[in-house]
Amino acid sequence: MDLSIIIINYKVKEKLFACIESIYSSKPKVKFEVIVVDNDEIKSLEKDLLIKFPKIIYVKSPKNLGFGAGNNLGAKSATGEYLFFLNPDTKVSDGTIDNLSNFLNKNKGVGIAAPLLIDEKGSPFKRQGSQRLDMFNGFFSLSFLGKIFPGPAKDFYLENWNKKTNKEVDVAPGTGFMITKELFREIGGFDEKFFLYFEENDICNRVKDLGYKIYILSGAKIYHEVGASTSQYPAAENEFKKSRFLYFKKYCGLPSSLIIEFFLRINRYVLLIVLILVLTFLFRIYNLSQSMSFIGDEGWFYLSARDMLLTGKIPLVGITSSHTWLHQGPLWTYLLAIVLYISKFNPISGGYLTALFGVLTTFLIYKLGTNMFSRKVGIVASTLYFCSPLVLLSDRIPFHPAPIPFFGILYLYAIYKWINGNIKYFPVILFSLAVLYNLELATFILVFPLIMIGLYGLFKKTLWIKKVIDKKIILFSFISFLIPLLPVIVYDVSNGFHQTIIFLLWIVYKPISGLIKHSASIDFKIMIDYFGFNLQRLIFGVNEGIALVIFVVSLIIILSAVLKKNFRVFDSKTLLFIFVFFSYAGIFISGTPSGAYLPIIFIPTIYLIALATEFLINQKSTKYLGILILVIILCGNIYADREIVFGHEFQDRLKATEKIIGLAQGGKYNLIGKGPNSQFESFTMNYEYLLWWKGSPPSHIPERTIIIVREENGMILVTKE
């Protein structure tokens, strides 16, 4: 056998068949064999391949090995003197194979011969072949500097050579090249650490280092449909970055590779997201020490965190919910305790903590939105999130619902990864869900998308459901779910299981009892007004009507896209629609217009609008309309009154605290709340914390001096009884 042609298949069956047909049609004079390595996870190629091409040598890989390892596997079955590694998204022109093999046969000093790559019109690609990739070339050819200083990049990519003549190069395109089997074995084949990309740079370096030359032959041509195979692999971009780092690490050392990789990661998207993150942080900390909210319920957590730090007694639950037999989880107390310890109990530190969660959530929206949808959606969504007046308000309140969007997006992304085959994310799903429940009981709403998806998987007998039935996955999932809820479970053991079993029974009982009694527990007008007002603050702070139009139109656009795909749950848009439906429906059915529930809808709403905006931008007829809408939303939200506090500003509370201290005159006193909302236990807890912080805490046993605090008519009134 003169020649072995090795082709890797990955989800490109039709293009592979066209490639093989072109090989036979080109009628090589050399005796050759074709070896197809099937890298596809689902092995459905063999039967059709061998029926159409019975002489083909079919090699079934155990999994997707990647380009280099797949070719090495194919080379093990090769009997030819020469090896021709060929991409499946190519078509071989007449005479190409013979020209390559004859050139290698006549020129023993040549190690690799590659064909000229042409497009569908027969014109050679401008860039094919390159100089050796080193740090200097990397800086100018792989980064944004190539556009600012195009000269070095053009030289590196050999753009100006006459494509009608043979060209000696340092690196030949990996699309197709020929090498002797003897030399291939001498250099050790492909380095299998390179899963995808940069294999040709590596193998050509090793060939050159042995003193051989590398040529691109003008008389040998193949048509190449760029990216047809790699586009089928969702992690291609990440693999490119990983292989790039491995290449520079191998040839430049670890310190240099870290430097150049950091630099190469800088592009317009990176610069844009860095700008968005900086603005996100600045918007959230601006005037925080003056205008931060600090209501009584927030004071409850501050006192709980303080007592934990000072006494060492770890609280097992948090503040009571609207149903006094139910408590929120203690997680926010633990998180708050960390920043209070670092800041020496400064109350403003809680605002910085929620601001940090806001920045981290904005980054996750970009990063995970890019993975689930597109980079454009990631940028648009992070922009909408950073400037939303309602999100800004939430991120400036040191209160337990603030981290919900952060863990909510982790929950959404983990489900997305799980239903797309990555079973390792299933424990992350349960961990995120447990954390969300710990932060706010109302997030139990988010269990229902998981239940719906699970039932769908059971009905369809999907692979991602079957993979869950694994001892390790079950164990890790149980531990992941248990750890965040462990304090609550310990509390329940001696408190009648109100937080767990009774809560679950109550969740089932409440809607059923409402239907049986035909109760009008849901005031539709109140709930509609609640959503309308808060959609304005979330989407477009300037006008409620425009905000509603944006929301409804976005919903229609995404629903149309979902219906076209027949509700395929594993599709990211379908998954998002499910989350939008359950988050809004769950809050509406609860009948409670609570501000603590709002963070549940932040992430699905922002992504919904970002996807609709991308849809408009991607259409030629509506491109500028989509950009205009985004700019109007951005400007409108920055201009809008953000209502950055609930009621009184932090400085107002601090002034009232100073007045209380003045009235106490250094003696012992009781602090009592009167007026609206004073019936709640937590009414004065914010003042209690500030008074303790200032060194003059109230007494909790009866004293002769009684100081009364009222909050009414927009004022804080402090009097001595």
pLDDT tens by residue, 5-20? 999 998 888 899 999 9
In a domain, 262, yes or no: no
Full-model pTM: 0.79
Residue 512 and residue 659 in one domain: no
- Non-local (6+) Cβ contacts of 493 within 8 A are none
Residue 393 and residue 468 in one domain: yes
Residue 507 and residue 598 in one domain: yes
- Over residues 642-666, the pLDDT tens digits come to 555 566 889 999 999 999 999 999 8
In a domain, 707, yes or no: yes
Containing domain of residue 688, as a range?
650-720
284 contacts 355 by C-beta, under 8 angstroms? yes
What's the rounded Cα separation, in Å, for the pair 46 and 67? 19
CATH code (residue 691): 3.30.2300
Residue 581 and residue 708 in one domain: no
Residue 468 and residue 575 in one domain: yes
Tell me which of 229, 257, 285 is where a domain ends: 229
- Over residues 96-148, the pLDDT tens digits come to 999 999 999 999 999 999 999 998 888 898 888 899 999 888 888 888 787 77
CA dihedral of residues 678, 680, 685, 686 (deg, nearest 10): -70
What's the rounded Cα separation, in Å, for the pair 697 and 690? 8
Residue 625 and residue 663 in one domain: no
- Over residues 208-228, the pLDDT tens digits come to 999 999 999 999 999 988 765
Tell me which of 591, 608, 639 is where a domain ends: 639
- Over residues 621-631, the pLDDT tens digits come to 888 998 999 99
Tell me which of 582, 611, 639 is where a domain ends: 639
Residue 187 and residue 290 in one domain: no
Q: For position 518, what pLDDT does the model report?
A: 45
pLDDT band at 415 (very low <50, low <70, confident <90, very high): very high
The packing angle between helices 623-639 and 599-618, to 10°, is 150
Residue 679 and residue 619 in one domain: no
> Residue 2: pLDDT above 80?
yes
What's the rounded Cα separation, in Å, for the pair 346 and 239? 45
Residue 120 and residue 186 in one domain: yes
696 contacts 664 by C-beta, under 8 angstroms? yes
Query: What total of structural domains would you count in the chain?
Result: 3
Residue 566 and residue 655 in one domain: no
